Amino acid sequence: MLELLSVLLGGALGGMVRLALGNAVGRQLGAHLPWGTLAVNLSGALAMGMLAGVLGFPAPGVSNTAWSLLAIGLLGGYTTVSSLSLQAVTLWQQGRETAAIGYMAMTLVAGLAALALGAWLTGGLA
């Protein structure tokens, strides 16, 4: 039960932080590309890498309240795969195919790099 409550609390907090940061970045950088979602996803990948470097990955089926709160709840509520997908399709439908492909590529490549950087910074990728 504690694990479920941890996911609930983390998800609520992550969603609120996502909204605040996404809107702030969007206001600063404009609406030409979905910069707010990109900033959220890349910072979330960095944070997940750091978290994995500090906590390690829990074994499947093993209860881990800290992982449930921070990785599943907080970062799960914070990152935005559904928004990423919708925004890429919207760019494509607007006839901006190159922007849609670039946005997806930037998210995937930079997201993987951010995750690896976060794990490396915490000693998780020695």
Residue 84 has pLDDT above 80, yes or no: yes
Domain tally, the chain: 1
Residue 45, domain extent: 2-121
The answer to whether residue 15 is domain-embedded is yes
The answer to whether residue 126 is domain-embedded is no
Sign (positive/negative) of CA torsion 22, 28, 30, 34? negative
The answer to whether residue 61 is domain-embedded is yes
The answer to whether residue 89 is domain-embedded is yes
Residue 10 has pLDDT above 80, yes or no: yes
79 has binding-site annotation: yes
The answer to whether residue 31 is domain-embedded is yes
Of the pLDDT bands very low, low, confident and very high (cuts 50, 70, 90), residue 116 is very high
Contacts by residues 110-113 (CB-CB < 8 Å, ≥ 24 positions apart): 110/38, 110/42, 110/45, 111/41, 111/42, 111/45, 112/45
The answer to whether residue 57 is domain-embedded is yes
Residue 126 has pLDDT above 80, yes or no: no
76 has binding-site annotation: yes
* Segment 20-72, tens digit of pLDDT: 999 999 999 998 899 999 999 999 999 999 998 888 877 777 778 999 999 99
> What was the pLDDT predicted at 31?
83
Of the pLDDT bands very low, low, confident and very high (cuts 50, 70, 90), residue 112 is very high
Q: Which residue has the tokens 């960095």?
A: 46
